[in-house]
Structure 1
Amino acid sequence: MSFLAFLIFSAVTVLSLPLEPRQDNTTAMSADSLAGRPRQQADAPYDVSTSTMQAAITCPKGIQHKRGGIVLLVHGTGSTGEESWQNSPYNELLPTDPLGAGYDICWVDLPQRALGDVQTSAEYVAYSINTLAPQSSTGKVAVLAHSQGAGLNVQWALDFWPSARSVTSMYIALAGDFHGTELGNDDCTPTQLANQGCVIAVVQQSVGSHYINAQNVRGGSALVPTSSIYTLYDDFVFPETAGSAVSVLSGASNIYLQQNNICGSGHQANHWAMITDTAAYGLALDALTHGGTASASRFQSIYCNEYASNHNLNLSQTSVAAEQACLSSLVTGPMTFSEPKLRSYVCQQGQSTYC
């Protein structure tokens, strides 16, 4: 089955999830194992002009210096900032939610709808954080991201741009594929990659890719206060099994929506629903108001069915539209016949030899 056909099928049905165990420490390395590795003393260089990356930042309501500071939203594969976030609760509700501190919202449009080289997308994230931090009332930026944006772009930026890490107050990941997704492996086999080619970002998000392996040398653990929120019914990022999911990040607060102390097994949120899901929003808001660490013990069950501060807000069609746009964009996404080489700074830092 082709990658596009598989995704279209996924949009209308919930996949049975593989049961192979995946512990959250299988790809992370301990501090001791990193002790002998060279430490990066400066930021990685930008390959993209700063003017181009500046033009990719949108703050739809302007920067009003709200008390909670700036929240940077990062979209996922095949989407744009506007498609994922404009009609989401993070833009419609979060800025003035009475249960929060008040936030300025900005998002970044990743190049080629985040279908190209993920390393380039990460540059946009690092630049956005550094550019927005001085404009934030807190002097720092809180980052919230979905899918590839969550699992790859932000974590890479925090690893290889220490200046961005130093001004990131917290990081909230929605359905992040920190350890890759087997969706890429299932469709983009070595034979297909060599003979027909695959979308670049799909290759890099596959389990066992050089990108994933390099990131998880150091980025396999939380680099700032982090919460990873995911769903067991994810039809793009999997396997997501209780306690051993690809979205589990060592050192983070890892919470899945189907936990008994969250919404239970009946909560059917899929991958794209995570950008509007009420329970995911409730956990994200909890993280924002508690230093980046969401807690199941503080979770309010009202969020399983509605936004606590706006009972009538219904944004479910936003996730459907974003998914459809993703599926359409994959048809013309940039292709490769081999995984792109990693940038020289990755090997210089000792996180790979594939440069």
Structure 2
Amino acid sequence: MRRLLTCLLLLTASLTAGATLAPAPARADTTSPSYAPLDRPGPRLTVPAATLDAALQCHGDPKAGPRPVLLNPATSVTPEENYSWNWAKVFTKQGRYHCTVTMPYHTFGDIQVAGEYLVNAIRRMYARSGRRIAILGHSQGGMSGRWALRFWPDTRAKVAEVIGMAPSNHGTTVLAGCITGLTTCVPAVWQQRAGSAFMKALNSRAETFAGIDYTNVYTMLDEVVVPPPSSGLTTGAGRIVNVRVQDVCPLDPYEHVMTGTVSPATYAIVMDALTHDGPARASRVDRKWCSQLYMPGIDPADVAGFAPILTALPNLLLTVVPSVTLSGAPLLKKEPALRCYVYAAGC
């Protein structure tokens, strides 16, 4: 297990080797009148209903157990690659109803389209369970649920909390290889650049909403979401807590990928959020987790169980490489245009 973790650390560190850092992500203008009002009803979904429903896979009894959780995957991976060997096992053992949503192109596609998958998932889970759900996501998955909440207001009453593990809430500065007109990149990579049109729209007017708790877990060792504190949220009426892993476990060794998949400190913070009213509170987290190597759900002896990690590596390693993808996602010369519903003028 130690060798596997070391290997993954070295591989993910190579993602950003040689990248030129741009200026730190600027906070979006939350007062700009050019974006849609916060309370305007969301647009009709354009992805066929059958496609959306087929992407949602659920496990357990929707009417029983702790709060239902929607697992939202990171860029470059499927839910199976991201969660089958860790979080899904935890929630199954807890008897917690949980669902995953599979995005097009290994989550490399247009995040505006992924937003429609999330709107459908939220509505379906709420209808089946009769309870407000939690959205737990890693990297892009910790951020993209907010697109659904921002532009489809009906989803807000169906979501109790959003928990991001190293979420890209304000983009990242390490995607310097995507240069408009010169190189090509997949849509989700363009959109997660710091200062992108997508990020400005996502964070427009308000980052959070009343009645929803927001827990954002980030590590100062993050080499993908840079600078790491940009994972945090600050505006809006939601209850917000931004937790730096090192404030719970000062010697936590995990970087971006492992913060959302392996880190016992992240696990403890997430579970604190899920088992208490309101967002997580670092002071409540049992420091025993700081002496653990990995989170519950991971079985070091289950060699076959780590197969999803190996299938994820090719796409993971190519995430920040311009002009190349194995995912089938389109390679674009610039960021995808924002949909008309994003603007105050509407469609």
The normalised TM-score by structure 1 is 0.80
Deviation of 1:231 after TM superposition, in Å, equals: 1.1
**Aligned pair 1:217/2:204, yes or no?**
yes
Q: Which of the numbers 234, 237, 240 marks the counterpart of 2:225?
A: 237
Separation in 2, partners of 1:49, 1:206: 29
Q: Which of the numbers 253, 256, 259 marks the counterpart of 2:244?
A: 256
Q: Is the 8 A contact 1:172 1:292 kept in 2?
A: no
Matches within 5 A, 1:68-79: 68-79=66-77
Separation in 1, partners of 2:193, 2:253: 25
CA 1:37–1:87: 2 relative to 1, 3 Å: closer
Deviation of 1:64 after TM superposition, in Å, equals: 5.0
SS state of the match for residue 234, structure 1? coil
Separation in 2, partners of 1:281, 1:326: 25
Q: Which of the numbers 129, 140, 159 marks the counterpart of 1:148?
A: 140
Deviation of 1:37 after TM superposition, in Å, equals: 7.0
Q: Which amino acid aligns with 1:147?
A: S
SS state of the match for residue 154, structure 2? helix
1:4: which partner in 2? Answer: none
Q: Is the 8 A contact 1:176 1:228 kept in 2?
A: yes
SS state of the match for residue 287, structure 1? helix
Q: Is the 8 A contact 2:22 2:173 kept in 1?
A: no
Q: CA deviation digits over 1:305-328, x for unaligned, max 9?
A: 439995984499578547514336
SS state of the match for residue 144, structure 1? strand
Separation in 1, partners of 2:295, 2:226: 32
Q: Is the 8 A contact 1:122 1:157 kept in 2?
A: yes
Separation in 1, partners of 2:163, 2:278: 7
Deviation of 1:290 after TM superposition, in Å, equals: 1.3
Deviation of 1:293 after TM superposition, in Å, equals: 0.5
Q: CA deviation digits over 1:209-263, x for unaligned, max 9?
A: 11001111135345621100111111221111xxxx110111521001111xx00
1:135: which partner in 2? Answer: 128
Separation in 1, partners of 2:189, 2:296: 37
1:161: which partner in 2? Answer: 152
**Aligned pair 1:204/2:191, yes or no?**
yes
1:94: which partner in 2? Answer: 91
Separation in 1, partners of 2:165, 2:194: 18
SS state of the match for residue 252, structure 2? coil
The count of aligned residue pairs is 322
CA 1:20–1:263: 2 relative to 1, 3 Å: farther
CA 1:318–1:297: 2 relative to 1, 3 Å: farther
Matches within 5 A, 1:21-170: 26-27=27-28, 29=30, 38-59=37-58, 61-88=59-86, 90-97=87-94, 102-136=95-129, 139-151=131-143, 153-170=144-161
1:178: which partner in 2? Answer: 169
**Aligned pair 1:187/2:177, yes or no?**
yes
CA 1:344–1:268: 2 relative to 1, 3 Å: same
Contiguous gaps of at least 5 residues in structure 1: 1-6
Separation in 1, partners of 2:60, 2:15: 38
Q: Is the 8 A contact 1:19 1:239 kept in 2?
A: no
CA 1:284–1:41: 2 relative to 1, 3 Å: same
**Aligned pair 1:326/2:315, yes or no?**
yes
Q: Which amino acid aligns with 1:257?
A: V
Separation in 1, partners of 2:71, 2:163: 10
Which deviates further from its counterpart, 63-72 or 173-182? 63-72
Separation in 2, partners of 1:28, 1:305: 41
Deviation of 1:40 after TM superposition, in Å, equals: 3.6
Separation in 2, partners of 1:39, 1:280: 31
SS state of the match for residue 149, structure 1? helix
1:340: which partner in 2? Answer: 336
Contiguous gaps of at least 5 residues in structure 2: 1-7, 320-324
Q: Is the 8 A contact 2:70 2:136 kept in 1?
A: yes
2:4: which partner in 1? Answer: none
SS state of the match for residue 66, structure 1? coil
Q: Which amino acid aligns with 2:178?
A: C
Q: Is the 8 A contact 1:27 1:220 kept in 2?
A: no
Separation in 1, partners of 2:147, 2:345: 13
Q: Is the 8 A contact 1:159 1:218 kept in 2?
A: no
1:272: which partner in 2? Answer: 257
Deviation of 1:339 after TM superposition, in Å, equals: 1.4
CA 1:307–1:169: 2 relative to 1, 3 Å: farther
Q: Is the 8 A contact 1:282 1:307 kept in 2?
A: no
Identity of aligned residues (%): 28
SS state of the match for residue 191, structure 2? helix
Deviation of 1:81 after TM superposition, in Å, equals: 1.0
Separation in 1, partners of 2:14, 2:54: 38
Q: Which amino acid aligns with 2:215?
A: S
1:11: which partner in 2? Answer: 12
Deviation of 1:269 after TM superposition, in Å, equals: 0.9
Q: CA deviation digits over 1:19-76, x for unaligned, max 9?
A: 97768xx32626xx77x974443122211011100000111x3335323132100001
CA 1:287–1:322: 2 relative to 1, 3 Å: farther
**Aligned pair 1:281/2:235, yes or no?**
no
